[in-house]
Amino acid sequence: MLARMYSASETMKEISDPTKRICKIMISCPKLGLDTALDQSGIRVSADVVEEVLKRFENAGMVTYRFFEWAGRQRNYEHSIRAYHTMIESLAKIRQYKIAWDLVNSMRSKKMLNIETFCIIMRKYARAQKVEEAIYTFNVMEKYDMLPNLAAFNGLLSALCKSKNVRKAQEIFDNMKERFVPESKTYSILIEGWGRDPNLPKAREIFREMVDMGCNPDIVTYGIMVDILCKAGRVDEAVEIVKDMNAKGCRPTSFIYSVLIHSYGTDNKIEDAVDTFLEMERNGVKADVIVYNALISAFCKVNKFQNAYRVLNEMNSKGIMPNSRTCNIILNGLIGLGETDQAFSVFRKMIKICEPDADTYTMMIKMFCKREELKMAQKVWKYMKSKQFAPSMHTFSVLINGLCEKGDVSEACVMMEEMIEMGMRPSRVTFGRLRQLLIKEGRQDVLEFLNEKLNLLVKEPLCD
């Protein structure tokens, strides 16, 4: 059963483990009274415990922030740089930028700021398509007594490129490359950015400029070029690069082989995918979970799930543990074929050997919602909570939308309230759907209550 109780031995371990005790309190008491519950627990925090809790609750927004503030008030404890960084990332995820900057100011007062602090904020702004804010973060560093260096410059370019703003990144690079002398990493960031655009000619142009400037391509650059070429359908050209690497004594990594295997799988060339895997082993490159995931993905793509399960068994025999990505690949393949019963069976088996991630839970909840089996979707939700896993904004949205589709407005409102109390702003679509149902049922009082809850959050527009 998904929601089965912990065994007695698990309970004893939980009592002696402060991290698990805190997580259980945060899951069961996410609203008012969290501070009191934590105070009454008598738990004494350490840097390791706080960092672990923050990481496990990185999707929990304001609940995580309440814990962060509580921990900061405990005797003989000071937040580490890592704790601050994790909290800033968590706040930026839910667009609580004002509080995130408050933490930056707190770090400055304690002389704890470093380049990574600003790189985190740049990444989060860029991901939210707040390009000007990301650039402002880079420019404001000097006011915080942090002199921008090449690492910060690379951080800004990377943030922009990964959020598909490569043209802006290129413009900044062209204007500032005299101030920050580029290295191979700088060029690799831009090459990858143009590959994402996608603009293969421009990626090649930057690659040539890199070589002309005396920056020799490293294993990372080669990996990026192989990835770009494969995504552009130029697999044969990518294979030539791998051969060239071997000729130059630069042995391809497992990542490069995984890119080739994945590309063959996408093209339904399963024999080529298997041959590439075998070639990798012949060349003495040890297969890791990334390569195995690529091979499993290739088999799932051509509906050869028995072969995928055999690969899982081989991983087990070699002591390589599958991860959440392994699970998600198989689940996605089965759900895509409509094999939902088999997908649920795989889910139950996989959770015994690897930790699901937000995508795993969201996938299963969405599957049951589409099957109009809301009770099963809610069981997965309860199981997720029992594992002290904080749901993401997307996971909340999937279940709320499923409840709305089924007409269970009351339960959808409860979920919406919980989501808002965790500091997450719902998307326009999700909130709009619930709003229409409440108006249709004449429940303006509930709608007004939810709007008041939203207004208590730091002012930000509803997510698109």
What pLDDT digit, counting tens, does each position of 233-246 carry? Answer: 999 999 999 988 87
Q: Confirm whether 416 is domain-assigned.
A: yes
pLDDT value of residue 314 = 95
The answer as to whether 330 is a domain residue is no
The answer to whether position 252 is within a domain reads no
CA distances from 101 to 89, 106, 231, 233, 382 (A): 11, 9, 38, 43, 34
Q: Is residue 441 part of a domain?
A: yes
- Judge whether 183 lies within some domain: no
**Among 130, 158, 155, CA closest to 141:** 155
Q: Using alpha carbons only, give the angle 178, 184, 185 rounded to the nearest 5 degrees.
A: 95
Is 280 domain-assigned? Answer: no
What gap in Å lies between CA 258 and CA 124, rounded to an integer? 28
Question: Stretch 294-312: mean pLDDT, rounded?
Answer: 96
Q: What is the mean pLDDT of residues 247-269?
A: 92
At 463, phi and psi to the nearest 5? -65, 145
Average pLDDT, the chain: 91
Q: pTM (2 decimals)?
A: 0.81
Comparing 14-28, 119-133, 171-185, the range with the smallest average pLDDT is: 14-28
Number of domains in the chain: 1
Q: Residue 107 pLDDT more than 80?
A: yes
**Cα angle: 325, vertex 59, 341; to 5 degrees:** 45
Burial 260-275 (b: 16+ CB within 10 A, else e): bbbbbbbeebbebbbe
Does any domain span residue 424? yes
Flag whether pLDDT at 459 surpasses 90. no
Is residue 429 domain-resident?
yes
- Residue among 88, 107, 108 at smallest CA distance from 98: 88
Residue-range definition of the domain harbouring residue 420 = 396-464
Digit-coded pLDDT (tens) for 183-221? 999 999 999 999 999 999 999 999 999 999 999 889 999
Q: Are 252 and 221 in contact (CB under 8 A)?
A: no
